[in-house]
Amino acid sequence: MTRRRILTLAVTSKGALPMRKLLVLLCGAGTLAFATVAWAGYFNGPLPPNHHIHDCPDNNPCGYPHLAVGFFPTILGESRAAYRQDPAECNDATDKSLLPPNDTSGTPQENQPLRAGVCYTSTTLIHLHSIDASDPAPEGWSGPIAPVHLGNGITYVTYWLLTPR
């Protein structure tokens, strides 16, 4: 029997079927284990570039990327102490005042929201939208909270929507 014929017999024999199932199960288990470790490590590492974290007490200012706790404990329904165990991380694009050209003035451009985007803790996605106080509230969102009057003459209020992760 030739070598090619022996390999063909092994693949088509009944003994190959349990081996195939075993390989599929092992690959699936390995993928699941890798994903679990990667997911857990995501929350323990350094902040990704262009992100900030709201983990500083309001009366003890820190420097970027560590910003004040602000209203996050209130909208999450937690004490400040509990919140600081799992603080919200945000992409800088969520806070328009952190982006150029707004970063020098601290105010958004005309017709631009103060905040629009998603922050997150290990258990919750926090959708934020800060708009002119005279604009209608987004349907289905909670708020308003934290009115802010900026140098551009607009008073912004923040609405939020919480989604479990």
pLDDT in tens, 24-53: 766 666 666 555 544 444 445 678 888 889
- Residues 70-78, mean pLDDT to the nearest whole number: 94
**pLDDT interval class at 2 (50, 70, 90):** low
126: nearest Cα among 115, 135, 134: 115
113: nearest Cα among 90, 130, 137: 130
Query: Structure pTM?
Result: 0.65
How far apart are alpha carbons 138 and 146 in whole angstroms? 16
Quick check: 148 and 96 in contact, CB under 8 A?
Answer: no
Query: Parallel, antiparallel, or unpaired for β 142-149 and 124-132?
Result: unpaired
How far apart are alpha carbons 114 and 94 in whole angstroms? 8
Quick check: 132 and 156 in contact, CB under 8 A?
Answer: yes
